[in-house]
Amino acid sequence: MECRTVARELTIEGTGIHRGEKTALRLMPGTRGIVFIRGGRRIRATPSNVVDTRLNTAIGEGSVLVSTIEHLMSSLYGAGITDCEIEVSGEEVPMLDGSALPFVRLLEEAGTSPVGRQCAPIQVPSVFRSQRGDAWIEARPGPFSLTYEIDFPDPAIGAQRYRFNGGDYAAEIAPARTFGRIQDVEGMQGAGLALGGGLHNAVVVDGCRVLNPEGFRFPDECVRHKVLDALGDLWLLGVPLVAEIRAFKASHTLHVDLTRQIFEAMTEERQR
């Protein structure tokens, strides 16, 4: 496939969901992969630069951190953007409406352009798996697909399963918003997290009730959002992953661990 970047500069402003601080992004054409820039420090979006996976995916170098990158990364996957310079004014990427759709719309308006080199997709040669307790994610040799399953005690969510075969990302996956259980949200805010969160940028459930007046965008919006997150975390590889991917009750920690395993295996293979 042809490596691509944004065709023109874009600016995005919003609030970070965890710190609740205003932040701005400037997306610029690039040729050296996906690179976040904060305070003059350049941090490549690669598995080796991930420094935190609790409730989000954060990359960093030294004391410089950029967190909650997964929705933006997922939108770059959806747009086929392999190279981009992303200047961040604060610690977090804006949450916007809790989905990848606002990013996707902006990227569609800007368009993409080739960077002058080819990006070979990664085809896994064997099974890669990451597991913690009964939660797991794995990638097997085969054509691309991502099948995700979740199971929550809240009847409003319950057990959901979704299979994405690489179809219409903008219609199927991008609109799905981040979600949470009311008791978990209250616990996070008590710990100084989710300070910028609310019904404007997340779906919140309480048992059998959806607290958002508009309800869900899809009956299975929660599992679709997990697919969104996984695609963003897998885009840390920088090129498409050709594999049959399955996940059950997984997390950013498991997504990134699987991505890191594949990244390290491919790096070793290239060095032989």
For residue 252, indicate whether it is catalytic. Answer: yes
Please give the pLDDT value at position 21. 86
83-126 tens-digit pLDDT: 999 999 999 999 999 999 999 999 999 999 999 999 999 999 99
More confident call, 48 vs 20: 48
209-210 and 112-118: which strand pairing? unpaired
The domain that contains 90 carries what CATH number? Answer: 3.30.230.20
pLDDT bucket at 271, cuts 50 / 70 / 90: confident
- Any domain includes 44: yes
Please give the pLDDT value at position 51. 97
Report yes or no: 231 and 77 within 8 Å, Cβ to Cβ: yes
- Any domain includes 106: yes
- Any domain includes 182: no
Helix axes of 221-234 and 252-271: crossing angle, nearest 10 degrees: 30
- Any domain includes 41: yes
pLDDT exceeds 80 at position 245: yes
The residue from 71, 225, 252, 255 that is catalytic is: 252
pLDDT exceeds 80 at position 192: no
- Any domain includes 173: no
Report yes or no: 18 and 195 within 8 Å, Cβ to Cβ: yes
Q: Could you tell me the residue range of the domain that residue 9 belongs to?
A: 2-120
- Any domain includes 153: no
pLDDT bucket at 270, cuts 50 / 70 / 90: confident
39-80 tens-digit pLDDT: 999 999 999 999 999 889 999 999 999 999 999 999 999 999
- Please tell me the distance from the alpha carbon of residue 93 to that of residue 96, in angstroms, as a whole number: 9
Please give the pLDDT value at position 266. 87
44 CB-contact burial (10 Å; exposed 0-12 / middle 13-18 / buried 19+): middle
Counting the structural domains of the chain, the total is: 1
- Any domain includes 92: yes
Mean pLDDT for the stretch of residues 178-184: 87
CB-CB neighbours of 266 under 10 Å: 17
Report yes or no: 223 and 162 within 8 Å, Cβ to Cβ: yes
pTM for the full predicted model: 0.96
